[in-house]
């Protein structure tokens, strides 16, 4: 194999540093997990299989970064909107020099040269490619091929790894080791890809919706969602973005989901005729492709790009396509493990000087399949982007209060801690307090859709911006409701919601209807981008991290959101939570009233009194 010869070069280079002193120190366990339900050990991992190890070094000043983040994101604070530069953020997350030196020394002691190490701009991540045989030696562990029956995914993982004692305080985590993630798109399998006939019409009278543009919405929007429907429903018909004020929007693509430019043309002809002849920029991360063969068009990618970019035209738009996806099939002899693409995208975007101000992601996984230290570090990466003025929206999930299975009857809601206890299953990254999680609605007037992911984290503490809204919601529950099935004292989600059913997209040249919170995230992101355009056109900074603003507006100006009070999100054998007045664990504060939000965020004034 060519890999073996290239590895020999690395070893040869390593001899140049072999004279460095080696520390003799016992290894002790750094992390140990139980394999998540549904994963089975198949066989020992091939010794020459290459793993790209990402080593996270501690960020001793992260608390200071978090303080800056909340100050620049708090609409009551004098620093609101004064986002940090890339250089300022990098300085705040940089590890101690001692950590850098000791980790480098450890890597060179195993024959790795400095040239084989890739470092993040802040030096808080070091990446090296090593064969399984060396990774097992470095980490005093054994890797195996694991198989996930439900998704047909295979991963090379271990359930425990160790480090020399002196390195424990200098390394937060190493992956891929204990992360068993299937990283799926949030597209409901119940409401997806239903073929429709071109030119479908509905001659019924408009539906009266007082908060909509002109107070009414086309009757056809009750069965088919278009860009026009969303702009009517969310009170944005009369707003056209500049397209020339520096505003940008982006969506992320993974798992070989390709966005078809030919389908986008048909979509624009059908719904956004002014955009015909335009397209989006494709940015490849880690060798990501965007193949344009008709049969390779992805429903997820087409949904995200067509609606996010259709709502915001003529705002410059980017599709990030990130290479690497499961499954790794061990008998094919795949030379390099490429099934952890998400960290690669985060490393890439954080290295950019001017990332798009609004980015939507419609992918995620069950929170309990993600090791706590990994979830924490990824969540902290989102905080870095927020501090720099980037708004991040994520789909809240399609399993209600249950796992990713959108059919409540077949969900398995058991803990991974060996107890197999019944427990509501949170989604990640939706449960991270530094992103905006978007739940789902349907129909006009809107109600919660049953698969809208929502509930409570099992990892992240509740941030102060959520305290009043979530406590008010919990106070409405009958005493003992779902006792033991969730922790009422932690981060809750979703934060907001948007339509998520029967979106008319074009796929392989044909119109289809598709649904899921995969639709709600790019939709809400589209309206956030319009708000950013309105601010930038007035010389104001972008909104950045949204949640402190959302919860302040929800308390001070609730009419800026369309409160959803009908519906629930069943799962785990229960009816789930109910939608209710104000924030709830099904639809958050509800869907956006763009006109009201624009008045608030372009006024240059605070929202009024501060809530304790």
pLDDT at position 574 over 60: yes
Lowest mean pLDDT across 135-144, 288-297, 422-431, 442-451:
288-297
Q: What six digits make up the tokens of 304?
A: 């995200």
Lowest mean pLDDT across 73-82, 105-114, 150-159:
150-159
Please tell me whether residues 150 and 248 are part of one structural domain.
no
Nearest to 560 by CA among 582, 575, 540: 582
Gyration radius from the chain CA atoms: 24
Q: What six digits make up the tokens of 54?
A: 């990402």
pLDDT at position 180 over 90: no
CA distance 552 to 243: 29
- According to DSSP, the β-strands at 249-253 and 358-361 are parallel
User: What percentage of the chain has pLDDT greater than the value 90?
Assistant: 75
359-371 pLDDT, tens digit per residue, is 999 988 889 888 8
Please tell me whether residues 274 and 348 are part of one structural domain.
yes
pLDDT of residue 18: 42
CA distance 226 to 504: 6
**How large is the average pLDDT for residues 481-506?**
97
Of residues 277 and 2, the one with the higher pLDDT is 277
Most confident of 21-25, 278-282, 363-367, 601-605: 278-282
Please tell me whether residues 170 and 251 are part of one structural domain.
no
Nearest to 359 by CA among 516, 532, 595, 561: 532
Beta bridge partners of 181: none
Query: Does residue 223 fall inside a structural domain?
Result: no
**How large is the average pLDDT for residues 114-143?**
96
- Which of 162, 179, 196 represents a domain boundary (last residue)? 179
Q: What share of the chain is helix, strand, coil (3-state, %, to 5)?
A: 35, 20, 45
Query: Does residue 71 fall inside a structural domain?
Result: no
Most confident of 17-21, 184-188, 283-287: 283-287
Residue 31: strand, helix, or coil? strand
Q: pLDDT class for 195, splitting at 50, 70, 90?
A: low
**Angle at 252 (CA atoms; ends 248, 254), nearest 5 degrees:** 165
User: What percentage of the chain has pLDDT greater than the value 70?
Assistant: 88
**How large is the average pLDDT for residues 273-296?**
91
Q: Is position 563 annotated in a ligand binding site?
A: yes
pLDDT at position 8 over 50: no
Please tell me whether residues 155 and 291 are part of one structural domain.
no
Structural domain count of the chain: 2
The residues annotated as belonging to the active site are: 300, 304, 518
pLDDT at position 183 over 80: no
pLDDT of residue 14: 43
Q: Is position 218 annotated in a ligand binding site?
A: no
Please tell me whether residues 417 and 551 are part of one structural domain.
yes
Lowest mean pLDDT across 145-154, 263-272, 304-313, 315-324:
145-154
Question: What is residue 332's DSSP assignment?
Answer: G
376-409 pLDDT, tens digit per residue, is 999 999 999 999 999 999 999 999 999 877 677 7
Of residues 5 and 297, the one with the higher pLDDT is 297
Strand order in the sheet with 503-507: 194-195, 510-514, 503-507
What is this structure's pTM? Answer: 0.92
- Which of 158, 179, 200 represents a domain boundary (last residue)? 179
pLDDT at position 605 over 80: no
Please tell me whether residues 150 and 252 are part of one structural domain.
no
Q: pLDDT class for 4, splitting at 50, 70, 90?
A: very low
Q: In terms of residue numbers, what domain contains 154?
A: 2-59+94-179
Query: Does residue 608 fall inside a structural domain?
Result: no
239-268 pLDDT, tens digit per residue, is 999 999 999 999 998 878 899 999 999 999
Residue 504: strand, helix, or coil? strand
- Which of 161, 179, 197 represents a domain boundary (last residue)? 179
pLDDT at position 612 over 60: no
Per-residue CA distances from 460 to 133, 317, 379, 464 (Å):
35, 32, 9, 12
CA distance 423 to 379: 23
pLDDT of residue 25: 73
Please tell me whether residues 262 and 171 are part of one structural domain.
no
As to burial, measured by CB atoms within 10 angstroms (0-12 exposed, 13-18 middle, 19+ buried), residue 499 is buried
Q: What is the dihedral of CA 127, 131, 132, 135, to 10 degrees?
A: -50
**How large is the average pLDDT for residues 136-143?**
97
CA distance 495 to 588: 4
pLDDT of residue 23: 60
pLDDT of residue 494: 98
Q: What six digits make up the tokens of 279?
A: 């397209």
Of residues 183 and 110, the one with the higher pLDDT is 110
**How large is the average pLDDT for residues 161-183?**
92
Query: Does residue 50 fall inside a structural domain?
Result: yes
Q: pLDDT class for 203, splitting at 50, 70, 90?
A: confident
pLDDT at position 17 over 50: no
Q: Is position 564 annotated in a ligand binding site?
A: yes
CATH number (domain holding residue 246): 3.40.50.200
Please tell me whether residues 175 and 252 are part of one structural domain.
no
Query: Does residue 188 fall inside a structural domain?
Result: no
Query: Does residue 204 fall inside a structural domain?
Result: no
pLDDT at position 581 over 50: yes
532-547 pLDDT, tens digit per residue, is 999 999 999 999 999 9
pLDDT at position 35 over 90: no
Mean pLDDT over each residue of the chain, to the nearest integer: 89
Please tell me whether residues 312 and 389 are part of one structural domain.
yes
Please tell me whether residues 393 and 275 are part of one structural domain.
yes
Please tell me whether residues 241 and 386 are part of one structural domain.
yes
Query: Does residue 166 fall inside a structural domain?
Result: yes
pLDDT at position 507 over 50: yes
């Amino acid at each position: 194999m060519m890999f073996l010869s290239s590895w020999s070069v690395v070893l040869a280079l390593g001899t140049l540093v072999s004279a460095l002193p080696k520390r003799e120190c016992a290894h002790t366990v750094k992390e140990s997990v139980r394999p998540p339900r549904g994963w089975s050990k198949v066989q020992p991992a091939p010794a020459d299989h290459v793993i790209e190890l990402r080593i996270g070094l501690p960020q001793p000043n992260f608390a200071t970064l978090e303080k800056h983040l909340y100050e620049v994101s708090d609409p009551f604070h004098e620093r609101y909107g004064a986002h940090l530069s890339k250089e300022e953020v990098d300085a705040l997350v940089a590890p101690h020099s001692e950590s850098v030196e000791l980790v480098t020394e450890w890597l060179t002691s195993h024959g790795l040269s400095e040239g084989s190490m890739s470092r993040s701009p802040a030096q808080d991540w070091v990446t090296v490619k090593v064969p399984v045989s060396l990774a097992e030696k470095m980490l005093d562990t054994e890797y195996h091929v694991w198989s996930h029956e439900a998704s047909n995914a295979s991963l090379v993982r271990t359930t425990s790894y160790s480090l020399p004692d002196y390195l424990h305080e200098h390394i937060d985590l190493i992956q891929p080791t204990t992360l068993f993630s299937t990283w799926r798109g949030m597209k409901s399998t119940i409401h997806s890809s239903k073929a429709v006939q071109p030119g479908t019409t509905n001659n019924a009278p408009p539906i009266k919706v007082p908060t909509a543009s002109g107070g009414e919405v086309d009757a056809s929007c009750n069965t088919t969602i278009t860009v026009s429907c969303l702009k009517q429903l969310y009170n944005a018909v009369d707003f056209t973005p500049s397209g020339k004020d520096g505003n940008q929007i982006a969506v992320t693509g993974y798992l070989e989901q390709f966005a078809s430019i030919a389908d986008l043309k048909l979509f624009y002809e059908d719904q956004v005729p002014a955009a015909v002849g335009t397209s989006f920029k494709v940015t490849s991360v880690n060798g990501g492709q965007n193949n344009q063969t008709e049969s390779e068009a992805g429903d997820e990618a087409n949904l995200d790009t067509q609606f996010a970019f259709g709502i915001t035209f003529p705002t410059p738009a980017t599709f990030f396509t990130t290479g690497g996806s499961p499954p790794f099939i061990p008998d094919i002899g795949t030379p390099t493990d490429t099934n952890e693409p998400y960290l690669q995208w985060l490393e890439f975007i954080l290295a950019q000087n001017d990332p798009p101000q609004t980015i939507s992601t419609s992918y995620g996984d069950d929170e309990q399949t993600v090791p706590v230290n990994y979830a924490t570090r990824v969540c902290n990466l989102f905080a870095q982007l927020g501090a720099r003025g980037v708004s991040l929206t994520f789909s809240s999930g399609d399993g209600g209060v249950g796992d990713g299975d959108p059919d409540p009857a077949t969900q398995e809601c058991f803990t991974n801690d060996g107890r197999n206890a019944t427990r509501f299953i949170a989604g990640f990254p939706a449960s991270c307090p530094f992103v905006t999680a978007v739940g789902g609605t349907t129909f006009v007037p809107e109600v919660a859709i049953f698969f809208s992911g929502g509930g409570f984290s099992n990892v992240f503490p509740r941030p102060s911006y959520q305290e009043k809204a979530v406590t008010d919601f919990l106070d409405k529950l009958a005493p003992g409701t779902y006792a033991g099935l969730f922790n009422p004292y932690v981060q809750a989600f979703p934060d907001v919601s948007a339509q998520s059913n029967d979106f008319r997209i074009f796929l392989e040249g044909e119109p289809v209807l598709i649904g899921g919170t995969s639709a709600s995230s790019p939709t809400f992101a589209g309206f956030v981008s319009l708000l950013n355009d309105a601010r930038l056109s007035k010389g104001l900074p972008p909104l950045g991290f949204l949640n402190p603003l959302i919860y302040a507006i929800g308390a001070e100006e609730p009419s800026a959101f369309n409160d959803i009070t009908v519906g629930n999100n069943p799962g785990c054998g229960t009816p789930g939570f109910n939608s209710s007045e104000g924030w709830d664990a099904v639809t958050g504060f509800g869907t956006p009233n763009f006109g009201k939000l624009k008045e608030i965020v372009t006024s240059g004034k605070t929202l009024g009194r501060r809530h304790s």
